[in-house]
Amino acid sequence: MAAAILGKKIGMTRIFDEAGKAVPVTVIEAGPCIVVQVKSAEAHTNKHGKAKSEGYEAIQVGFEEKKRARVNSPMTGHFGNIAPRRYLREFHVEPGAAYEVGQIIKADVFEKGQLVDVIGTSKGKGFAGGMKRYHFKGGPASHGSKVHRAPMSGGATDAARVFKGTRKPGHMGAERVTTKNLTIVEVDADRNVLAIKGAVPGPNGGLVMVRGQ
C-alpha cells in the first residue's frame, strides 16, 4: 500500500519557494492515526482469541480521540484498550505488510515533493438550479422571454417518464470528491502538518484522506 493517512483540513495559505514565487497550499493536520484493526486474507487469531479471516488484506485506522463515555458498547469492545477515535477508515495493504494494532501513523510517512491524492466531501450547496449545478446556458435574457434560468425540455415525450441521469435541478455538493496528483510542498513531522499545493475538497475542519501514489 502507498502511504495513506487521515487528517483535517485547516485552511489555505501560501508559501514562497526558493525562487521567491508564491505557491498556494492547503494546510492539513495529518494524523496522528492509530491502527485499530488488522485484517488478513488468511486465518488468524483475533484479539478475542477466535480464529477469523476477512478474506483480504487491510488495516483500519482511527483519527481524533473521542470520549469513551460517548461510545456505545459494541464499539467499546471493538476499540479494546485503544482510546476511542471519532473517525475510522480502512486502507488496503500488501500481503504480509507489517502492521500491528496500536501502531501510530504520523505525517512523516510522506515526503516533500511526493504526489498524493486527497479525498474529501465537497461543500454542500443545497438545492441548486440547472445553471449553477450543470453550467447550463439558460434562456434568452431579453424582456420578451419568459424563461431565463429554468430548464427546458425534460427529454423524450413518448417514453412517459424521465430517464435516469437527466440533468435537472436538485441537491448539489456534499459528495465524495478525489483530487489527484497534488504535490506535497512541506512536511512538518513534529506538528503532523502537511502543506499540499492547490485546493482540496471540503470545508475547513472537514475530514480528508491523503493517499500516496
Asked if residue 157 belongs to a domain, the reply is: no
Asked if residue 143 belongs to a domain, the reply is: yes
CB proximity list for 161: less than 8 A, separation 6 or greater: none
Same domain, 115 and 181: yes
CB proximity list for 120: less than 8 A, separation 6 or greater: 9, 176, 177, 179, 200, 201, 202, 206, 207, 208, 209
46 band by pLDDT with thresholds 50, 70 and 90: low
12 band by pLDDT with thresholds 50, 70 and 90: very high
Same domain, 119 and 132: no
Helices and strands in the chain, H and E counts: 2, 14
Asked if residue 161 belongs to a domain, the reply is: no
Asked if residue 156 belongs to a domain, the reply is: no
Query: What is the span of the domain harbouring residue 206?
Result: 1-30+107-123+174-213
1 band by pLDDT with thresholds 50, 70 and 90: low
Same domain, 79 and 145: no
CA torsion sign for 147, 159, 128, 9 is: negative
Same domain, 52 and 89: yes
172 band by pLDDT with thresholds 50, 70 and 90: very high
41 band by pLDDT with thresholds 50, 70 and 90: confident
Same domain, 26 and 101: no
133 band by pLDDT with thresholds 50, 70 and 90: very high
Q: What is the mean pLDDT of residues 155-180?
A: 89
103 band by pLDDT with thresholds 50, 70 and 90: confident
Mean pLDDT of the chain: 88
pLDDT of residue 200: 94
Same domain, 39 and 72: yes
Query: Between 94 and 137, where is the model more confident?
Result: 137
Helix (H) or strand (E) holding 167: none
Q: What is the mean pLDDT of residues 32-56?
A: 77
Asked if residue 168 belongs to a domain, the reply is: no
Same domain, 198 and 112: yes
Same domain, 15 and 118: yes
40 band by pLDDT with thresholds 50, 70 and 90: confident
Q: What is the mean pLDDT of residues 58-83?
A: 89
For residues 110 and 171, give the distance between their C-alpha atoms in angstroms, rounded to a whole number. Answer: 36
Q: What is the CATH number of the domain that holds 8?
A: 2.40.30.10
For residues 80 and 62, give the distance between their C-alpha atoms in angstroms, rounded to a whole number. Answer: 13
Same domain, 49 and 140: no
* pTM for the structure as a whole: 0.80
Q: What is the CATH number of the domain that holds 63?
A: 3.30.160.810
CA torsion sign for 42, 47, 49, 50 is: negative
Strand 170-172 and strand 126-128: the pairing is antiparallel
Same domain, 101 and 53: yes
For 158, left (φ over 0), alpha (ψ -120 to 50), or beta? Answer: alpha
**Cell 488478513, located at residue:** 40
Q: How many domains does the chain have?
A: 3
